[in-house]
Amino acid sequence: MTIFANAFRKGGRTIPTLKDVAKLAGVSVSTVSRTLNDDNSQMVKEETKKKIFEAAAQLGYRRASFENRHESWMQRKDAPPQIGCFLSVTQHKYNHPYFSTILSGIEKGLRNEGASLAYVYTLEEFKDRDNLRRIVHGAKVDGAIIIEGMEPETYQFIKNYIPSIVGVDIADPDVSVVSYDRVAAAKEAVNHLIGQGHRRIGFIGGAGLSGMIEREKRFRGYQSALQEAGLPLRSEWIMDAGWNVDESYRAMKELLENDKGDDLPTAMFAASDMMAIPAMRAVSEKGLNIPEHMAFMGHDNIDLSEYTIPPLSTMHVPKFEIGLIAASLIVDTIEGRYPLPIKMIVPHEMKVRSTSDCER
């Protein structure tokens, strides 16, 4: 049986079908159909697309839309891969002390891989569906890096139209992800405070996509450490500041002003250094000393944490390296180097400084 056995004839000429293309390329008819019809509802590897385009060209499969896409694909093949980036933070993408470092790693990593960063959009810019549609359709990219979680509908929309996705701290078993163990890092931070003799430890941070602070990973690490040590989890010492620095400052001021006696936490675990720093200011303005009256343990180790007064103890997260790895992963994914999605967990490290180094 020849490759044209399932073809049909028109005017004495054999016309190849999708089935012929699928057989020559060694893939399913549905995969050929999705590729030639530009259907991105399911990811097709670039290597597979290449086989399909070449098989269709070899067989003389003719369709105007296919020919245009094939020409576009051949032109892109020798061009640097174009990568988009979606950042689930509302603003300040280039000067946010945590996310900007990840972005720097991504840009450096893409340059190392011979790829280019086509765009970076924040949650504020893509939360509107019409604007998201303009972003996705306006700048054709080979893949995208998604930093932190977003609404499921928004994520699925992006995933449907961009063929290759890599995540940073997202939960999707179908894509490659680079992350660190937030629960373990937070638990280690709180255990450090417990080891310093603290038995009344508060929390300040924010909720994730669920809107419930109890489900946020760093809170879960904090809670686990207290439970294992048999220490109280006091609701009045738990502050949901919504990851907002002004709210962190206000919440700590309110806690201090409402204190009717010796009933304050002696230590605070902040789920990010950005939450710790304004809370520390409120404590200092009240005339209390850090760490003698209230110790602090932060998270992330942003550059500024080393220069607070006193210097902030924190958990170091290798932000730049996370960006480098994500960049390498997206290029490897586009080029089909991984048959299955992988998850890479980077290590964290405690940085003990003056805000917590005071045994009680």
pLDDT score, position 339: 82
pLDDT score, position 15: 58
Q: Would you say residue 231 has pLDDT above 50? A: yes
Phi (first) and psi of residue 95, to 5 degrees: -130, 10
Q: Would you say residue 10 has pLDDT above 80? A: no
What's CA 56's distance to the chain center, in Å?
Answer: 37
Residue 285 banded pLDDT, cuts 50, 70, 90: very high
286-314 pLDDT, tens digit each: 999 999 999 999 999 999 999 999 999 99
Of residues 11 and 30, more confidence is placed in 30
C-alpha 83/C-alpha 290 separation (Å) is 45
Q: Which two tokens stand for residue 255?
A: 């806690």
Q: Which two tokens stand for residue 203?
A: 């929390």
pLDDT score, position 94: 56
pLDDT score, position 61: 67
Residue 42 banded pLDDT, cuts 50, 70, 90: low
Q: Would you say residue 3 has pLDDT above 70? A: no
Of residues 200 and 12, more confidence is placed in 200
Residue 40 banded pLDDT, cuts 50, 70, 90: low
Rounded to an integer, the average pLDDT of 274-295 is: 97
In what helix (H) or strand (E) does residue 136 lie, and over which residues does it extend? helix 129-138
pLDDT score, position 281: 98
Sign of CA dihedral 256, 258, 264, 265: negative
88-131 pLDDT, tens digit each: 875 555 567 888 899 999 999 999 999 999 988 888 777 777 88
Q: Is the backbone of residue 137 left (phi > 0), alpha (psi -120 to 50) or beta?
A: alpha
Residue 160 banded pLDDT, cuts 50, 70, 90: confident
Coil, strand or helix: which one is 189? helix
Which residue has 């078993």 as its token pair?
173
pLDDT score, position 12: 44
Q: Which residues contact 195 (CB under 8 A, 6 or more apart)?
A: none
pLDDT score, position 277: 97
Q: Which long-range contacts (CB under 8 A, 24 or more apart) does 55-58 make?
A: 55/21, 55/24, 55/25, 56/16, 56/21, 56/32, 58/24
Q: Would you say residue 1 has pLDDT above 70? A: no
With CA atoms as reference, report the closest residue to 47 among 328, 338, 344: 338
Residue 268 banded pLDDT, cuts 50, 70, 90: very high
332-349 pLDDT, tens digit each: 999 888 888 999 999 999
C-alpha 283/C-alpha 279 separation (Å) is 6
Q: Would you say residue 154 has pLDDT above 80? A: yes
Average pLDDT, the chain: 85
Rounded to an integer, the average pLDDT of 151-178 is: 91
Report the DSSP beta bridge partners of residue 147. Answer: 87, 168
pLDDT score, position 309: 94
pLDDT score, position 49: 82
pLDDT score, position 359: 64
C-alpha 252/C-alpha 279 separation (Å) is 6
